[in-house]
Amino acid sequence: MHYEKNIVSLVTFLTKEGLRTAKRYVCPARWAICLLFFAATLSAQDLDPRAYSRVPVDITFIVTGFVYSFGGILLDPTLPIEDLEAKVESPMLGIGHTFNLFGLTSQAYIGLPYSWAQASGKVLGEERSTTRSGLGDTRFRVSALVFGAPAATIEQFAKSSSRTIVGTSLTVTVPTGQYFSDKLINLGTNRWAFKPEIALSYNVYQRWFFDLYAGMWLFTDNHSFYPGTSVRSQDPLAAFQTHLSYNFNPLMWAAIDLTYYNGGQSSVNEVYNDDRQKNSRFGATLNLPVSKQNSIRIAYSRGAIIRVGANFSTISIAWQMVFF
């Protein structure tokens, strides 16, 4: 891979020339490495280019960001709300770490959002409007690269490279968000959700990279659904992503993103709703270096083909700091 070759050349020089000479080169190497992270998305729609990139182990990164979404957005897109118009502002803080798991390059990340929301629409045929502010659901993600990227320190990173990487991950959404059982619009979902996923990352040609992910969201029941005494269930929701990205140089890249969801029909007290999802979203991502251990990521996405619950746009900006 183009960006890996640049890092490799620096690290190889480091190991041959010793620590005194390395001081002039280790910062550029770290700069390039820091741009490979962002394991978890700041977008609720999971557009994550390069989430399975090859990276060294024993590195910690902190992500702070802000997400603005507007349109027919729902944190739970199967709720019985019509003509929804909403604005949601969400600052977010996350921390991650790369590590060696039985010889595999692995990564763990946890993120916690806080949201302000203003929404209006028809609830059971009646016009309503409301505002919310509070914590959202916590998201935890652990991933491992099972082929093409064995665990390596920064020094060992120079000794291997791969054109094809296969990875897997598990994302868990924890119901820590603000939830009122007598309200339909909430910042939390009052249930657990799990998404196992497999992924392929491929260096197509020189600076071009292709990602393909396939996952499945699995949901527990909400036993205090509106008006507080109902049980709400949801079928599994298949989720697919594809990304095509380009390296302008080892420190700067851009990607075109596409995701598709299918399934997820919900029921209340075992009565099914007509809310099966067949939604696609598209977007773009730009990653920019700022300093030796900091970078900025800017992303935009919107609904493309919508059946239920994803007819909105999202703009996000995130700042990442990397510690060695």
Q: Which residues contact 5 (CB under 8 A, 6 or more apart)?
A: 161
Cross-strand bridge partners of residue 271? 268
Select from 150, 168, 170 the least CA-distant residue to 160.
150
What number of CA atoms fall less than 13 Å from residue 289's CA on the CB side? 20
**Segments in the chain forming alpha helices (H):** 2-17, 19-22, 26-34
Stated as kind and residue range, the H or E segment containing 17 is helix 2-17
Tens of pLDDT, residue by residue, the chain (324 residues):
444 433 333 334 333 443 343 344 344 344 334 344 433 333 334 788 999 998 899 999 999 999 998 887 655 555 666 677 888 899 999 999 999 999 999 999 999 989 998 888 777 677 778 889 999 999 999 999 999 999 998 888 767 777 899 999 999 999 999 999 998 778 899 999 999 999 999 999 889 999 999 999 999 999 999 889 999 999 999 999 999 999 998 789 999 999 999 999 999 999 998 888 888 999 999 999 998 789 999 999 987 665 555 678 899 999 999 987
Please state the pTM of the whole predicted model. 0.82
Helix (H) or strand (E) holding 69: strand 60-72
Q: Where are the domains of the chain?
A: 2-323
What number does CATH give the domain 2-323?
A: 2.40.128.130
DSSP 67: E
Q: How far is CA 150 from the centre of its chain?
A: 23
Instruction: State how far the Cα of 279 lies from the Cα of 257, in Å rounded to an integer.
Output: 14
